[in-house]
């Protein structure tokens, strides 16, 4: 029977909330009227009003050093931390509702570890379900900018420590012992006399605790038992047994398979269509016209796919018909401003780089399940911006946002793609039109030809040097406009940036040169095309910092210096040198290698973390292969070393793929590639036989890691290729 509960420190009233975070109490605690302990807040430290602190981009040249995108997400999450929910159930489960998407990056495991350590629970007793879309969380529910662990670290430790203190207090009352005499471990409170009580047995009493009788501060790092210990994914068993459920595996009764006939070119529209033949085909239930094409709903996906081919559609032109890569290249070249002339008596190193469009190509295609009824909608989708998806579904279906329930389900990869949610909107529209639940799937062709891409980009770089010193460094990037309107981009809008400048703001907040190269000028000009782009793992850095790391090798050549020695000399920080030194030593930098094989090295610092990568490449055939990789990371506090290594290895494969193999051609308004047969993302035979990841540093707070290693890996692969072949690679991927 539900009990009545005191609410010691309720959520701020509307008046308090509108007065801004500065007016909040320093210790903000809220226990909801639930039958068990449910801590929804514990804030320590002073909150900062974003409107005051974050509305202005700090002065160039390197604002990223002062404030980066992760800081924006940290601030957004901190403001919302009183809305995070941690529950202890009567059956002794500790449940943290994760306000993020799990798309393989391992954050459910990392946060389960943080909760387990801080509340003193067995890891196996911790559940981390993904939170439904909650408008009160807003962009604090976005997954992006490699910021999830970084931004949840403080708030989650705080609420777990608060919960632990209340459980201890409840046990002290039950046993009539001083709370300070009790200890906690393995989801259990222990008394000095040997008595024990599980958290589950205490949770109802703990929910009634007015004021914890022991400190609610998170424990010191010296007491960590779980944080910092390599831990296998908490969902690993469900994955290897096939039990893990992705959107199309969720059992929504009677949800009907649905696919969409899409135009031959990007953003083409339906002019006329004839579905008579398709409607007569076996199993076909309905045909629905959507803004994006003609949806076919049937009893099986096989029937839907066959009927899709039978729908006769005439298409109006798309939004980039007539545009091919060469046309874009001409505009990108024109968008790069003139470089600053080198002063007399100096030498310069110039380089121009081009990077192709790259599809995100997550293994799980765009998918969503929707059940829209009169006055309500329920949607299941792997969304990295669930509140954005919820709003988009509400807009499309003419429902109010609070009539839309949006469940975030695990995603089969993202790499930026699931910041956008077209499948959720399409599924909702079809369900609303046919008054039945549907499960809508994009085909791989749909994902390749109508999904989003990393924008094609050009880079002009110039370093001026004299007498062994680099005097100035200039990098002018131009790319197809990046759509940042969701997730982290929205967080920037919320933080006061104005829409047309979001790309430039994002660029400024993500780019910094880790070297002492004198005055540094880095700028971005975007060229607008009406085509679907999206942030792709590490966003502008994937190209910009890769280009920069290639230039560093070319400067080294100009100076007659070894690439590692060159970097050691010019790196700004000892921490970065330590990371570089680690790969150089562990990777046996400079060892003698056969002709057409070589080592390459690169470094990247972002997200308050540093990564270096050393690879060995074999270019003796026309199919270059990275044979070995050694990586080193300093990510500050290491929550799950195993997960960190996985992120590094995955980024390495991204580096190999985007530098050597995988990209997308735009031909007359349509992408040429249609599947993994021609989008040549790396496979086992392209991966190194050896990949060692070393973790260095390890103190302080966690930095970001999800995207960290992509530029270091890509730069190392390109530099190794250049050294092995004696060439200067300029266009990526090289085998395109």
Partner 1 sequence: MPTYAFTLNGKKVTVDAPADMPLLWVLRDLLGVTGPKYGCGVGVCRACTCHVNGKAVQVCTLTAAEVVGKKVTTIEGLAPEGGLHPVQQAWLDEDVAQCGFCQPGQIMQATALLNSNRNPSDTDIDQIMNVCRCGTYCRIRKAIKRAASTM
Which residues in this chain contact partner 1 in the complex, by CB under 8 A? Answer: 103-106, 230, 232-233, 235-246, 248-249, 251, 257, 282, 299-302, 305, 361-365, 410-415, 441, 443-444, 642, 646, 649-654, 675-677, 681-685, 687-691
Residue 301 beta carbon to partner 1: minimum distance, rounded to whole angstroms = 5
Between 31 and 285, name the residue whose CB sits nearer to partner 1: 285
Between 396 and 649, name the residue whose CB sits nearer to partner 1: 649
Residue 104 beta carbon to partner 1: minimum distance, rounded to whole angstroms = 3
Between 163 and 358, name the residue whose CB sits nearer to partner 1: 358
Between 183 and 675, name the residue whose CB sits nearer to partner 1: 675
Residue 585 beta carbon to partner 1: minimum distance, rounded to whole angstroms = 21
Calpha distance 485→2 (Å, rounded): 43
Pair of tokens at residue 218? 């998170």
Closest of 427, 287, 309 to residue 367, by C-alpha: 427
Residue 359 beta carbon to partner 1: minimum distance, rounded to whole angstroms = 10
Residue 662 beta carbon to partner 1: minimum distance, rounded to whole angstroms = 10
Between 281 and 433, name the residue whose CB sits nearer to partner 1: 281
Q: What angle do CA 713, 715, 717 make, to 5 degrees?
A: 70
Between 234 and 275, name the residue whose CB sits nearer to partner 1: 234
Pair of tokens at residue 23? 């007016």
> Which residues are 731's β-sheet partners?
354
Between 447 and 474, name the residue whose CB sits nearer to partner 1: 447
Between 290 and 626, name the residue whose CB sits nearer to partner 1: 626
Residue 202 beta carbon to partner 1: minimum distance, rounded to whole angstroms = 32
Residues 6+ apart with CB under 8 A from 666: 320, 323, 324, 325, 328, 357, 456, 672
Between 59 and 677, name the residue whose CB sits nearer to partner 1: 677
Q: What SS3 class is residue 167?
A: helix
Residue 652 beta carbon to partner 1: minimum distance, rounded to whole angstroms = 7
Calpha distance 675→442 (Å, rounded): 12
Residue 64 beta carbon to partner 1: minimum distance, rounded to whole angstroms = 26
Cα dihedral 15, 21, 27, 30 sign: positive
Between 595 and 684, name the residue whose CB sits nearer to partner 1: 684
What is the DSSP secondary structure assignment for residue 482, as one 8-state letter? Answer: P
Pair of tokens at residue 329? 């290249």
Residues 6+ apart with CB under 8 A from 17: 11
Calpha distance 617→627 (Å, rounded): 6
DSSP characters for 623-682?
S-EEEEEEEEEE-BS-S-HHHHHHHHHHHHHHHHIIIII--B-EETTEES--STTTS---
Residue 385 beta carbon to partner 1: minimum distance, rounded to whole angstroms = 18
Closest of 548, 612, 532 to residue 577, by C-alpha: 612
Residue 240 beta carbon to partner 1: minimum distance, rounded to whole angstroms = 4
Residues 6+ apart with CB under 8 A from 251: none
Looking up tokens 């007569």, which residue turns up? 280
Calpha distance 545→613 (Å, rounded): 13
Pair of tokens at residue 123? 């890891």
Between 87 and 447, name the residue whose CB sits nearer to partner 1: 447
Q: How far is residue 282 CA from its own chain's centroid?
A: 41
Calpha distance 83→59 (Å, rounded): 34
DSSP characters for 523-563?
EEEEE--SS-B---TTTTHHHHHHHHHHHHHHHHHHHT--H
Between 31 and 716, name the residue whose CB sits nearer to partner 1: 716
Pair of tokens at residue 581? 């030194």
What is the DSSP secondary structure assignment for residue 376, as one 8-state letter? Answer: E
Residue 371 beta carbon to partner 1: minimum distance, rounded to whole angstroms = 18
Residue 386 beta carbon to partner 1: minimum distance, rounded to whole angstroms = 17
């Amino acid at each position: 029977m539900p009990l009545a509960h005191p609410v010691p420190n309720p959520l701020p009233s509307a008046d308090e909330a509108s007065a801004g975070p500065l007016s909040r109490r320093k210790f903000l605690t809220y226990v909801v009227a639930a039958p068990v302990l449910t801590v929804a807040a514990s804030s320590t430290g002073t909150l900062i009003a974003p409107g005051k602190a974050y509305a202005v981009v700090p002065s160039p040249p390197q604002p990223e050093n002062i404030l980066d995108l992760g800081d924006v997400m940290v601030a957004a999450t901190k403001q919302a931390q009183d809305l995070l929910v941690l529950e202890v159930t009567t059956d002794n489960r500790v449940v943290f509702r994760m306000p993020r998407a799990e798309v393989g990056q391992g954050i459910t495991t990392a946060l389960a570890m943080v909760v387990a350590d801080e509340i003193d629970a067995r890891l196996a007793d911790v559940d981390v379900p993904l939170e439904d879309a909650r408008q009160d969380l807003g962009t604090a529910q976005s997954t992006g900018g490699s910021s999830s662990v970084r931004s949840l670290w403080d708030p989650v430790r705080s609420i777990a420590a608060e919960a632990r203190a209340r459980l201890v207090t409840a046990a002290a009352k039950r046993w009539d012992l001083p709370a300070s005499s009790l200890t906690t471990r393995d989801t259990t409170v222990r008394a000095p006399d040997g008595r024990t009580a599980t958290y589950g047995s205490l949770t109802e009493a703990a929910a009634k605790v007015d004021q914890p009788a022991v400190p609610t501060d998170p424990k010191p790092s010296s007491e960590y038992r779980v944080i910092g210990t390599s831990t296998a994914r908490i969902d690993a068993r469900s994955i290897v047994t096939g039990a893990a459920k992705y959107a199309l595996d969720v059992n929504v009764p009677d949800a009907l398979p649905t696919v969409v006939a899409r135009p031959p070119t990007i953003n083409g529209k339906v002019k006329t269509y004839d579905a008579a033949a398709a409607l007569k085909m076996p199993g076909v239930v309905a045909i629905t016209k959507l803004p994006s094409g003609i949806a076919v709903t049937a009893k099986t996906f096989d029937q839907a796919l066959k009927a899709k081919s039978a729908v006769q559609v005439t298409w109006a032109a798309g939004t980039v018909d007539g545009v091919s890569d060469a046309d874009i290249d001409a505009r990108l070249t024109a968008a790069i401003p003139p470089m600053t002339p080198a002063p007399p008596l100096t030498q310069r190193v110039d380089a121009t780089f081009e990077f192709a469009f790259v599809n995100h190509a997550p293994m799980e295609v765009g998918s969503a399940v929707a059940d829209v009824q009169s006055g309500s909608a329920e949607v299941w989708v792997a969304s990295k911006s669930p509140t954005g998806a919820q709003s988009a579904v509400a807009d499309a279906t003419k429902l109010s946002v609070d009539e839309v329930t949006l469940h975030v389900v695990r995603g089969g990869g993202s790499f930026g793609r699931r910041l956008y949610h077209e499948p959720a909107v399409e599924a909702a529209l079809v369900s609303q039109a046919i008054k039945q639940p549907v499960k809508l799937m994009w085909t791989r062709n749909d994902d390749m030809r109508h999904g989003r891409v990393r924008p094609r980009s050009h880079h002009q770089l110039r370093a001026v040097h004299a007498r062994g010193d680099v005097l100035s460094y200039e990098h002018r990037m131009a790319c197809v406009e990046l759509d940042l309107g969701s997730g982290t981009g929205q967080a920037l809008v919320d933080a006061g940036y104005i829409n047309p400048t979001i790309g430039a703001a994002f660029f400024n907040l993500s780019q910094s040169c880790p070297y002492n190269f004198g005055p540094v000028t880095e700028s971005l000009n975007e060229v607008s095309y009406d085509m679907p782009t999206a942030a792709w793992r590490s966003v502008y850095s994937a190209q910009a910092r890769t280009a920069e790391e290639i230039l560093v090798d070319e400067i080294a050549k100009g100076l007659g210096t070894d690439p590692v020695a060159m970097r050691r000399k010019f790196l700004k920080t000892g921490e970065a040198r330590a990371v570089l030194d680690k790969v150089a030593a562990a990777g046996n930098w400079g060892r003698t290698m056969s002709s057409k094989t070589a080592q390459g090295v690169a470094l990247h610092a972002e997200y308050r973390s540093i990564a270096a990568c050393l690879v060995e490449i074999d270019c003796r055939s026309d199919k270059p292969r990275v044979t070995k990789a050694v990586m080193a990371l300093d990510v500050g506090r290491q929550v799950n070393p195993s997960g960190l290594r996985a992120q590094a290895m995955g980024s390495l494969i991204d580096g190999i793929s985007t530098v050597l193999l995988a990209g997308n051609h735009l031909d007359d308004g349509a992408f040429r590639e249609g599947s993994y047969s021609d989008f040549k993302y790396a496979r086992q035979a392209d991966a190194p036989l050896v990949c060692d990841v070393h973790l260095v540093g390890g103190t302080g707070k966690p930095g970001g890691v999800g995207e960290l290693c992509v530029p270091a890996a890509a730069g190392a692969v390109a530099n190794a290729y250049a050294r092995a072949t004696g060439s200067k690679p300029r266009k990526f991927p090289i085998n395109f």
